Structure 1
Amino acid sequence: MIGIVLAGGKSRRFGSPKWQVRYQGVSFEERARQTMATTTTAQWSVVPAGQTTAPHQLEDDHEWRGMGPLAGIVTVMRHVSSDWYAVCACDTPLVPPCVYERLATERGDRPVVAYADERIHPLIALYPRSMLAQFEVALRRGQRAVMPHVTEATIVSFEERDWFKNVNTQHDFEALLGKEVE
């Protein structure tokens, strides 16, 4: 299984590239790679165009540039062959490795998606290569959302709500650091 770190967003609400933000001495991108390391053979990050700095980083394929997380997933599926892909959004730095380990134990022939805090998390999931064509068709139609593709997924529930919190703003990051925010 190959790990996909989704780090290609524009980080408009955050104000600077989230994937480069450091938390506990490690960038969000590297933290996501480490999170998936116990269940994947390699981890590939999709970063914004013109910002690749390491051999394990890719930019969205030109035809999908700016089309969101689904484009990032398709980019890695096209360039790195595997039967399965684990997906991790870089802005969920509290997701521990045990989440992917548990998702992997639930794997059958359908996608496997995390559920916590009363919502499905399609960017903390496992997707089979067999979905590549379906994802490409959606992108060609201008459909960027991942959620419509999880209707047949195996849903795995987690009680730990904080693991799945997104860091979208500086306020979120300050809360993550445990600082008082006014």
Structure 2
Amino acid sequence: MEATGIILAGGKSSRMGTNKALLRIDGKSVIEHVVAELDSIVNNIIIVTNSFEDYAFLNLPMVEDEWKGMGPLAGIHAGLSATKTEQNLLVACDMPFISAQLGSVLLGQLAEYQVAVPKISDKIHPLFAAYRKEVKEEAKAALEQKQLRIRGMFRNIHVKIMDEKELNDYGIKLSESDLFNMNHPEEYEQAKKMSMKNGISKG
């Protein structure tokens, strides 16, 4: 499948107090874990960041937000504008244990939908979701109107929301680690414990 992984690494990490993408788990930075997992299912990887120097060591293409200071929606727009593939898997940089299997299933929905998003325990996860490149136009329209909630944009496009039951039909049994993200120091500590407890090591 011709697809691109888009890693959003443009946040300020203000709640963490340090760049959360560069925090280390099992001897690798979180973003290295994300890259390794994406590499198994996509042909290309792009990093969306406003701090190119932080991620130069990865030797991957980088783009910055066109709409500065406007949150994850601006990152989605930047990534979808830069990608050369119709199918894209968008991932936040603070998710150390992402599932390539889940990503593949989401990408598979793009034949019929513009976006495919997992929903776990009544919460959708638009920052681990599959997006067609054309969604950049809807993102741009929302940014122009300063409507920055991603869920608001979803009202205007063809979105597939996949709950646990439907994912189960694809053979995916999600654990709490698969969509775990870190915003606070306590969550980083929790991630390290989860990694040790579950023997999670992504590459």
Report the TM-score, using the length of structure 1 for normalisation.
0.87
Which residue pairs with 1:176 in the alignment?
191
Preserved contact between residue 109 and residue 128 of structure 1 (Cα < 8 Å): no
SS at the partner of 2:117? strand
One-letter code aligned to 1:12: S
Distance 2:162 2:26 in 1: 28
Q: Name whichever of 70-79 and 51-60 sits farther off.
A: 51-60
The gaps in structure 1 that reach 5 residues or longer are none
SS at the partner of 1:51? helix
Preserved contact between residue 122 and residue 146 of structure 1 (Cα < 8 Å): yes
Which residue pairs with 1:72 in the alignment?
75
| 2:35 maps to which of 27, 33, 36 | 33
Preserved contact between residue 39 and residue 104 of structure 1 (Cα < 8 Å): no
Which residue pairs with 1:44 in the alignment?
46
- CA shift, 1:104, in A, is 2.3
* Pair 1:120 & 2:135 matched: no
Preserved contact between residue 37 and residue 100 of structure 2 (Cα < 8 Å): yes
Preserved contact between residue 47 and residue 60 of structure 2 (Cα < 8 Å): yes
One-letter code aligned to 1:74: H
Which residue pairs with 1:157 in the alignment?
163
What RMSD over aligned residues (CA atoms) do the two structures have, in Å? 2.0
* Pair 1:82 & 2:85 matched: yes
Preserved contact between residue 87 and residue 110 of structure 2 (Cα < 8 Å): no
Q: 1:50 to 1:41 in 2, by over 3 A?
A: closer
- CA shift, 1:86, in A, is 0.6
Which residue pairs with 1:135 in the alignment?
139
One-letter code aligned to 2:132: P
Preserved contact between residue 67 and residue 144 of structure 1 (Cα < 8 Å): yes
- CA shift, 1:174, in A, is 0.8
Preserved contact between residue 49 and residue 59 of structure 1 (Cα < 8 Å): no
| 1:100 maps to which of 92, 99, 103 | 103
Instruction: Name the one with the larger helix percent.
Output: 2
Distance 2:102 2:80 in 1: 22
* Aligned sequence identity (%): 26
Preserved contact between residue 10 and residue 48 of structure 1 (Cα < 8 Å): no
One-letter code aligned to 1:49: S
- CA shift, 1:102, in A, is 1.8
SS at the partner of 1:85? strand
Distance 1:24 1:147 in 2: 34
Provide the aligned length of Structure 1 versus Structure 2: 178
